[in-house]
Every structure is written in C-alpha cells, then in structure tokens.
C-alpha cells in the first residue's frame, strides 16, 4: 500500500486520503450500533457518550428475551413471517424484473420507450407517496391480513428492472438468436442464457430487495390487523418505541436494533463484489 502511494502524484494522494477519511466516518455508525448493544445501563447514559463499550455485557439481550416472552404472539412467529415474506418476495421480484427487463431490452413493441421512461420516472417517488394507492389496491383485491399483502407492494421493483435491463442490453443479439435456432423458447433463453450473464445485476437486486422487505414494518402496520401475520421489524419497532421513554429498557432497544441490522449487513458483505460490478456496468452510457 505504501509503495503504491509513493508512485501516486499529489492529486491521487489527496483523493486517497479523503476517501479513507470518508470511509472511517461511514464505519462509525456501524461501530456505534454494535457497541451500543453490549453497553451496560451505566454506559448507555454516560455524557459525553462513548463510541466503544468499556464493560461489554449480554444483559441487554437477556432483557430483550424477557420482553419477547411476555408477548401474546411468540417471537418465532414474527421471525417465520419475516423470513417467509423476505425470501418469497425477493424471488418474485427477481423473476418479474428479469422478464420485464428482457422484454424491454430485446423485444420491440409499441410504447416500449414510454414504458421504460415511466419505470425510470417511478424511481423519483418515495414510499410514502404511494401508500394510499397501495392500500386501496390491496383492500379492493381482498388481500388484507394475508401474505399477499406483504408481497404485492414490493413485487414491482423499478430498481431491479433498471439494473437488469442495463446488463441485458450488453448481451449480443446473436447469442439469443443462436439459442432460438437451437430450439430454445423465450423462457429457456432467459433462464439459461440471459440470467447467467446478468448474474451481478440479479445478485444486486436480490440484496437490495431482501434488505427492503426485511426491514419494512409498513405492510404490517397498514395491511395487518391480525398480530400473527405481522413481521419481525414491526415487532421490534414496537419494542423500540415502547422503550424510547423507558430508561430501564434502553438496553433492550439497542439489542433489538442490532438484531434487525445484522442480517442485512451480512448479506451485503457476502455479495458486495456483485454490487460493485453491477454499478460499474449499469451506469449511464
């Protein structure tokens, strides 16, 4: 590393140092989340606050376990709902996004450019802006208090379609035509030719979608009246909000935040190279 920096000019050295500084600032929140979950009560309220824990303890997780044991619906039910919804929702998004991206990239039909422009435009809307139309749609379809209500708001993913289309655009048409000559149908071409080539975009879409669904309590709040159909993020959010004004439960709230955060962090760390490759290939041309 030092040898490489010696060979850099001043501008490159300055840029590298700035990136290192920004990287450290980006790591600080992660360190705070992990250390805060293991702080005893005496360190949680110390002023000025400390970043690193001095006397780590598992008491916060024990307190969280006692709270969850007193709930009407068992903790395992919330966990099962989250896993089922996150996995099935991610798979559904990947399939639908791949089919849509392939049609937009390799087929010519009236209104194709307009449809893709509408998909790009939808990236501008925040989730809160579409909550009322989504609620009306789910209600009219009779999906309240069902797993479909968890899945439907996430199935149409403009980000997934955009990333996959940018990758599929780079696949030579001759490769697809060769598959058709060999007798492969459209679905076989997508599964055996297109998706393996676009695997970085597929992996990135899977990561982003899993993180979105895993950490989303809104479907439980808006569409679920039955507590047995609600997910872990909703349950944890109730613990955190209930503990916000309770000094005794601040440690349990910190432990709940860490439990929700760890799965998404692990998935990102495992597939981070795929994310970088996707961003490199899906930029504006």
Same domain, residue pair 149 and 203:
yes
Domain count, the chain: 2
Helix, strand, coil content of the chain in percent (nearest 5): 75, 0, 25
Same domain, residue pair 104 and 136:
yes
Same domain, residue pair 182 and 155:
yes
Same domain, residue pair 14 and 127:
no
Higher pLDDT, 282 or 69: 69
Q: Which of 20-24, 71-75, 80-84, 158-162 has the lowest mean pLDDT?
A: 71-75
| Confidence (pLDDT) at 50 | 81
| Residue 149 pLDDT > 80 | yes
Same domain, residue pair 141 and 252:
yes
Q: What's the CA gap between 23 and 213, in Å, rounded?
A: 27
- Digit-coded pLDDT (tens) for 195-254: 888 888 888 888 888 888 998 888 999 999 888 899 988 888 777 665 445 566 778 788
Q: Which domain holds residue 158?
A: 66-281
Same domain, residue pair 156 and 32:
no
- Digit-coded pLDDT (tens) for 248-284: 677 878 888 888 888 888 888 877 766 665 555 544 4
| Contact between residue 89 and residue 151 where contact means Cβ atoms under 8 Å apart | yes
Dihedral sign, Cα of residue 71, residue 73, residue 76, residue 79: negative
Same domain, residue pair 53 and 83:
no
| Residue 15 pLDDT > 80 | yes
**Of 19, 34, 57, which one is at a domain's C-terminal end?**
57
Same domain, residue pair 111 and 170:
yes
Instruction: Output DSSP code: residue 108.
Output: -
CATH, residue 221: 1.10.3720.10
Same domain, residue pair 48 and 131:
no
DSSP per residue, 204-230: HHHHHHHHHHHT--HHHHHH--SGGG-
| Contact between residue 284 and residue 102 where contact means Cβ atoms under 8 Å apart | no
Tokens of 79: 């966990």
- Confidence grade of residue 59 (pLDDT, cut at 50, 70, 90): confident
Same domain, residue pair 6 and 40:
yes
- Confidence grade of residue 89 (pLDDT, cut at 50, 70, 90): very high
Same domain, residue pair 155 and 175:
yes
**Of 57, 77, 94, which one is at a domain's C-terminal end?**
57
Same domain, residue pair 28 and 82:
no
**Of 12, 27, 57, which one is at a domain's C-terminal end?**
57
């Amino acid at each position: 590393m030092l040898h490489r920096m010696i060979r850099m000019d001043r501008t490159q050295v300055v840029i590298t140092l700035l990136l290192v500084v920004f990287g450290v600032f980006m790591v600080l929140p992660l360190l705070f989340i992990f250390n805060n979950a293991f702080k005893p009560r005496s360190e949680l309220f110390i002023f000025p606050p400390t970043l690193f824990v001095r006397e780590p303890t598992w008491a916060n997780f024990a307190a969280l376990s006692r709270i969850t044991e007193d709930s009407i619906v068992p903790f395992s039910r919330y966990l099962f709902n989250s896993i089922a919804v996150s996995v099935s929702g991610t798979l559904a998004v990947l399939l639908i996004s791949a089919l849509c991206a392939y049609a937009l990239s390799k087929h010519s039909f009236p209104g194709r450019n307009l449809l893709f422009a509408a998909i790009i435009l939808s990236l501008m809307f925040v989730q809160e802006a579409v909550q009322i139309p989504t609620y009306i749609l789910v209600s009219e379809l009779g999906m309240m208090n069902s797993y479909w209500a968890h899945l439907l708001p996430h199935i149409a993913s403009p980000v997934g379609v955009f990333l996959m289309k940018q990758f599929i655009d780079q696949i030579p048409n001759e490769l697809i035509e060769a598959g058709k000559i060999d007798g492969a149908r459209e679905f076989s071409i997508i599964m055996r030719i297109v998706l393996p080539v676009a695997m970085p975009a597929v992996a990135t879409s899977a990561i982003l979608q899993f993180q979105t669904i895993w950490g989303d309590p809104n479907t439980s709040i808006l569409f679920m009246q039955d507590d047995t159909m609600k997910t872990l993020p909703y349950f944890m959010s109730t613990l955190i909000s209930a503990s916000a004004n309770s000094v005794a439960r601040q440690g349990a709230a910190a432990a709940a935040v860490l439990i929700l955060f760890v799965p998404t962090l692990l998935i990102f760390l495992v597939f981070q190279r795929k994310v970088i490759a996707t961003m490199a290939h899906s930029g504006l041309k």
